[in-house]
Amino acid sequence: MNLLESHTHRLATILDLAPVVPVVVVHNLAQAVDLARALVAGGIPAIEVTLRTPAALDAVRAIAAEVEGAVVGVGTVIEPKQFDLALEAGAQFAVSPGSSPKLLAAAREHALPWLPGAATASECMALLEEGYRLLKFFPAEAAGGVNALKGFGGPLPQLGFCATGGISLDNAPKYLALPNIRAVGGSWLTPESALLAGDYARIEALAREAAGLKRG
């Protein structure tokens, strides 16, 4: 098994932990551990912390060190150096909205499993040629949603997807019913109103609801 095959196996294991991977934006570092504990308590252990805020890497570091059962990764990886920063912080996987030659080159020999993004058949085929079998379908709703994924399933049955972008509790079941969907990503599990109020019980309840969604 080569490195990319090992990474694919690891990513499959992570995506299989729960039907939803929460996409979390952490503005206040003091909230990171409590919100992660709430997600894990609700049955959602894989957590994607987006690298969109100054607190993101410190949040990953805190979750990795302090939240038992959490499998924390990073999202919005758009620069090669972010692979190293994420790994040093304790991330176990990385996610990008797309891919680029520089990211592909950096990921090829990196220890951190990477889920690159794709929105078209050509992008999917290019990543398949590079050896990737698991992709992020983004932005899911804007890129054709369920119908697009159904279309990919015929000519590209080798690929599995985590659909992210416009996913909610209402439309998640339609995605999860597809055979080429491994999980969905969404931000609805950690609404800003709950974070501002410190309402971690609500986050745990939303996580429990999401964990109960059926696949296949």
Which among 136, 141, 174, 214 is annotated as catalytic? Answer: 136
Q: Is 81 a catalytic residue?
A: no
Which among 48, 88, 109, 174 is annotated as catalytic? Answer: 48
Half-sphere exposure of 207 (CA within 13 A, CB side): 27
Rounded to 10 degrees, what is the CA torsion of 84, 73, 201, 184?
Answer: 150
Q: Is 48 a catalytic residue?
A: yes
How far is residue 56's CA from residue 36's CA, in Å, rounded to a whole number? Answer: 13
Cβ neighbours for 119, distance < 8 A, ≥ 6 positions apart: 98, 137, 138, 139, 143
How far is residue 181's CA from residue 163's CA, in Å, rounded to a whole number? Answer: 7
Which residues are known to be catalytic? Answer: 48, 136
